[in-house]
Structure 1
Amino acid sequence: MSNTMSPSENLIKPLPSAVSVLIVDDEPGMRSFLSKALSKKFALVETASSVEEAEQLRSRCHFDLLIVDIRLPGRSGIEWHEALDDQERRSDIIFMTGYADIEVAIAALRAGASDFIMKPFHLEQMMKAVDRCIERRLLKRENLMLRRDVAIGYASTIIGNSEPMMEVKRVIERVAPTNAVVLIQGESGTGKELVARQLHQLSGRQGPFVPVNCGAIAPELLESELFGHTAGAFTGAKGSREGLFSFASGGTIFLDEIGEMPLKMQTALLRVLEQRAIRPVGGEKEVAIDVRVVAASNRNLAEEVEAGNFRQDLYYRLNVLDITIPPLRDRAEDIVELTHYFTLQLSSELGVREVVWSHEDLQKLQQYDWPGNIRELRNMIERCILLGKPPAEYWKQPVRQEVVAEGGYPLEWPLKEVEKSHVMKVVDAHGGNKSAAARDLGVSRKTLDRKYKEWFDGESVDGE
């Protein structure tokens, strides 16, 4: 799998500043040290020297994160039950202690700590713990918002706040209120139909949205499907039938994969766009229509015109307004938001408990280049939920490689040497795992061990 980013890059979206933190420690130096560091990152950072003082602050303001020293004057941090047991205003808690007592650590975790840090510590260690806690909290917030959106029917919302997607949204908002034909281009799986639906929803048109996959309808039936037919128009046409353009009256017809449309149908469609009327197959009269046309293609239609596969005049007629959807690899910063959205949506559809993915899972998802785009991402999330397998596990497993001999073996090589070279390539491809290599070679592990003993005259044949 090819990566689009260096693993060392910060792959998770920057944490927003609208986060509140309360530091509780009886040492003034520690309070000042942490307050200065965290104030550079978060909007509100308060300090307190005791549980009692901290509870007064917490009664006036909600804090997303509490950083609490366990050993405090009066009540200890673990005894701060008002914060630990408050389910309605639950905060993440990082406990600190200067005493290496495993029992205290266990008690802190049992009390509900999100993390536990030993003093003295490096600032980087604390900041990583803080980031982990805040990421979890932000994920919960996003899920609550998405759950609300799904509940009130915003399932067709375009997800993503990267600059390429923000530009797509801006174009949609500008062109949606018009009746102009729109051409949507982009790779398979980028969400062209979703953009078309958004155009329709924002258009104010009262009729339906009618999607048509031009590549999924037999060429000889496409004209009848789109324009309808009269009784007796062809064998089997026992009665008249309205076409999809008629069904879309007052609304929008979405012609997906229009690059697959036969040239004959392209001519008929061009006439419809110019005359704003259709003629059913076998009919003598044209019927006026009020339908907005949105077309889409995963092919480069300009190149198809050059190749003679697409009519130039139709291309110009369709390309009045163009929206190009970027592939997922060019907007990797949207992957986290898309993952949260699909996880919530699919968990609900599948009737399973919602899953929270780890930082490593999200990193791995952002590092992959997604040749199948959003459709591939959604399918992977669905598999992960059904199998109970986190996304990162897909990249931890040894990738089965198709081992092909490089060829050009010296003609003087005996068959034994060719066999030895090939077997060792297969074993290397499996990272030295001889059991896996034996399965690919179609032999038993015992046979493979025997071969190694034969080739290396008793040298070690250890391996999985």
Structure 2
Amino acid sequence: MNPCPPNTTDTAVADHREAAWSEYAVLVVDDEAGVRNFLERALRARGCRVEVAGSAEEGAERLREHHFDAIVLDIALPGRSGMEWLRSLKNAGFAGDVILITAFADIETAIDALRAGASDFVLKPFRVDQIINSLQRCFERARLYRENFVLQRQVAGLGGEVAGLIGHSAPMRALCDMIRRVAPTPATVLILGESGVGKEVTARALHQMSPRAERSFVPLNCAAVSAELIESELFGHVRGAFTGAREARRGLFHYANGGTLFLDEVGELPLAMQTKLLRVLEERRIRPVGSEAEVPVDVRVVAATNRDLHAEVAAGRFRRDLFYRLEVLTLSIPPLRQRPEDVAELVQHFNAQLSSRLGLPPLTVTPADLVSLATYPWPGNVRELRNLIERSLILGSLPVHNQVQGMADPLPLSLAEVEKRHILAVLDQCGGNKTHAATLLGVSRKTLDRKAVEWGLA
């Protein structure tokens, strides 16, 4: 049976036109050419990308070529039925919604469809607004799910805050110029810099200045996830893929689709995971854990590390081919001690931002304070300065001049020793609480434990 005539379509589409549909892609699978053409015209009129297929086999071929957010699927297909294909899709880890349509149905069929994983069930002959409303619910659910996921990660401390790139020194101007050149391209970017310089802020700036700015920015601290779970975290998994996998789960590549995935501390990735990441970067496809099917993805990857990857490659801890693939474009962020002229601007920014957030009056900062702060070497970089301003707001005043100078050691120290002293000082302030100290330092608890082992600390 055919759906309603075209004149009904035009009215319904005009009443439901929304720009948000341009973000989504739909696959229509039906053996009736009239139904396929009807739905293709109706959905394209709303702005979304549409592909059509006449069988489950053709639909599977389209899925291997493109990413789809939803599938409109007829149950009665030549060869493999729509219900059979739906079950295999869900078992293979397909994360999108599936709307089943059929001309012959009863209550048992509808129940079976929902149990198999269908999002909705529509009877032929249908009106176009039925399909549109069903897809609208699917897209709205996907949008809310994605936003909630990203917000949860930000609340958990993985997202951080966007403070922006602050500073007008020559090194910062050069960095900003490079970001403006790199951001519009789809190329993978590697960000290098010491701990606390603002690698995630830089990655967010790249995302916001790119054509992907309207889609998700999804961050992951690679050191904060165990080697056993990192693959599932990135690619997702199907139900039963491993012990405890009671249901299918989407991975970060899915949530970042169309947007940017930021892999912080990429040097911490296990070698086996480095191999799989390289394959994704080259082929733009992921395979959920436990699935035999690959899923195409459109994700820009931005990676960051404070490690010397050349040394890691030489030591056999980092794959040479992945390193070359990541360093297509490299951004190096200067440490704060190399741009002391930016300290005053950063102090002003954090003073205004944090006083508003904490509900406290801003600090009174004198010219002498700024000179004192600018001459301190800041081994913890911008993060250390931010923490100092926050602590000073809570206590009611900045450290006096000689206290700030006392924070710096007059002896020439190696960077490793400066880092060690800074971490030990923060641990001392936290009463030895490593979890709290790791939060203040902006590193993972795993990283802090590794440092403690290196230094022979209990």
TM-score class, shorter:
0.5 to 0.7
Q: Does the Cα contact within 8 Å between 2:376 and 2:407 map onto a contact in 1?
A: no
Distance between the aligned counterparts of 2:372 and 2:209, measured in 1? 35
Distance between the aligned counterparts of 1:365 and 1:300, measured in 2? 29
Instruction: State yes or no: 1:158 paired with 2:165.
Output: yes
| Deviations, residues 244-279 of structure 1 (Å, cap 9, x unaligned) | 000001100000000000000000000000110000
Distance between the aligned counterparts of 2:404 and 2:162, measured in 1? 33
**Secondary structure of 2:262's aligned partner:** strand
Query: Which ranges of 4 or more aligned residues in structure 1 deviate by more than 2 Å?
Result: 154-157, 391-394, 396-401
> How far off its partner does 1:212 sit?
0.3
- 5 Å matches for 1:4-403? 156-205=163-212, 206-393=214-401, 395=403
Distance between the aligned counterparts of 2:386 and 2:185, measured in 1? 32
Distance between the aligned counterparts of 1:397 and 1:371, measured in 2? 13
> How far off its partner does 1:393 sit?
4.9
Sort the Cα spacing of 1:196 and 1:397 in 2 relative to 1 into closer, same or farther, 3 A.
Answer: closer
Sort the Cα spacing of 1:320 and 1:242 in 2 relative to 1 into closer, same or farther, 3 A.
Answer: same
Q: Does the Cα contact within 8 Å between 2:363 and 2:397 map onto a contact in 1?
A: no
| Deviations, residues 393-440 of structure 1 (Å, cap 9, x unaligned) | 562797899xxxxxxxxxxxxxxxxxxxxxxxxxxxxxxxxxxxxxxx
Sort the Cα spacing of 1:325 and 1:368 in 2 relative to 1 into closer, same or farther, 3 A.
Answer: same
The residue type paired with residue 251 of structure 1 is: G
Distance between the aligned counterparts of 2:221 and 2:336, measured in 1? 22
> How far off its partner does 1:156 sit?
3.6
Distance between the aligned counterparts of 1:224 and 1:298, measured in 2? 25
Sort the Cα spacing of 1:231 and 1:160 in 2 relative to 1 into closer, same or farther, 3 A.
Answer: same
> How far off its partner does 1:392 sit?
2.8
Q: Does the Cα contact within 8 Å between 1:159 and 1:338 map onto a contact in 2?
A: yes
Q: Does the Cα contact within 8 Å between 1:279 and 1:285 map onto a contact in 2?
A: yes
Distance between the aligned counterparts of 1:394 and 1:268, measured in 2? 52
> How far off its partner does 1:389 sit?
2.6
**Higher mean C-alpha displacement, 198-207 vs 311-320:** 198-207
Q: Does the Cα contact within 8 Å between 2:234 and 2:252 map onto a contact in 1?
A: yes
Q: Does the Cα contact within 8 Å between 1:360 and 1:392 map onto a contact in 2?
A: no
| Deviations, residues 116-137 of structure 1 (Å, cap 9, x unaligned) | xxxxxxxxxxxxxxxxxxxxxx
Sort the Cα spacing of 1:399 and 1:267 in 2 relative to 1 into closer, same or farther, 3 A.
Answer: closer
> How far off its partner does 1:307 sit?
1.2
The residue type paired with residue 337 of structure 2 is: R
Aligned-pair identity (%): 58
> How far off its partner does 1:356 sit?
2.5
**Secondary structure of 2:400's aligned partner:** helix
> How far off its partner does 1:391 sit?
3.1
Distance between the aligned counterparts of 2:382 and 2:408, measured in 1? 24
**Higher mean C-alpha displacement, 340-349 vs 352-361:** 352-361
Distance between the aligned counterparts of 1:326 and 1:170, measured in 2? 14
The residue type paired with residue 234 of structure 2 is: L
The residue type paired with residue 197 of structure 1 is: R
**Secondary structure of 1:219's aligned partner:** coil
The residue type paired with residue 391 of structure 1 is: P
The residue type paired with residue 206 of structure 2 is: L
**Secondary structure of 1:379's aligned partner:** helix
The residue type paired with residue 384 of structure 2 is: E
Distance between the aligned counterparts of 1:397 and 1:290, measured in 2? 50
Sort the Cα spacing of 1:227 and 1:370 in 2 relative to 1 into closer, same or farther, 3 A.
Answer: same
The residue type paired with residue 315 of structure 1 is: F
Distance between the aligned counterparts of 1:357 and 1:316, measured in 2? 46
> How far off its partner does 1:390 sit?
1.8
Sort the Cα spacing of 1:268 and 1:335 in 2 relative to 1 into closer, same or farther, 3 A.
Answer: same
Sort the Cα spacing of 1:201 and 1:285 in 2 relative to 1 into closer, same or farther, 3 A.
Answer: same
Q: Does the Cα contact within 8 Å between 2:191 and 2:304 map onto a contact in 1?
A: yes
Sort the Cα spacing of 1:160 and 1:397 in 2 relative to 1 into closer, same or farther, 3 A.
Answer: closer
Sort the Cα spacing of 1:332 and 1:234 in 2 relative to 1 into closer, same or farther, 3 A.
Answer: same
**Secondary structure of 1:245's aligned partner:** helix
Q: Does the Cα contact within 8 Å between 2:217 and 2:262 map onto a contact in 1?
A: yes
With normalisation by structure 2, the TM-score equals 0.53
Sort the Cα spacing of 1:363 and 1:230 in 2 relative to 1 into closer, same or farther, 3 A.
Answer: same
Distance between the aligned counterparts of 1:253 and 1:207, measured in 2? 11
| Deviations, residues 100-125 of structure 1 (Å, cap 9, x unaligned) | xxxxxxxxxxxxxxxxxxxxxxxxxx
Sort the Cα spacing of 1:221 and 1:339 in 2 relative to 1 into closer, same or farther, 3 A.
Answer: same
Sort the Cα spacing of 1:217 and 1:398 in 2 relative to 1 into closer, same or farther, 3 A.
Answer: closer
| Deviations, residues 125-161 of structure 1 (Å, cap 9, x unaligned) | xxxxxxxxxxxxxxxxxxxxxxxxxxxxx95421010
CA RMSD of aligned residues (A): 1.8
> How far off its partner does 1:300 sit?
1.1
Distance between the aligned counterparts of 2:267 and 2:306, measured in 1? 8
Distance between the aligned counterparts of 1:345 and 1:356, measured in 2? 14
| Deviations, residues 363-398 of structure 1 (Å, cap 9, x unaligned) | 111111000000000001111111113233562797
| Deviations, residues 269-325 of structure 1 (Å, cap 9, x unaligned) | 000001100000000010000000000001011111111110000000000000000
Give the structure with higher Rg (CA). 1
> How far off its partner does 1:168 sit?
0.5
**Secondary structure of 2:339's aligned partner:** helix
> How far off its partner does 1:354 sit?
1.7
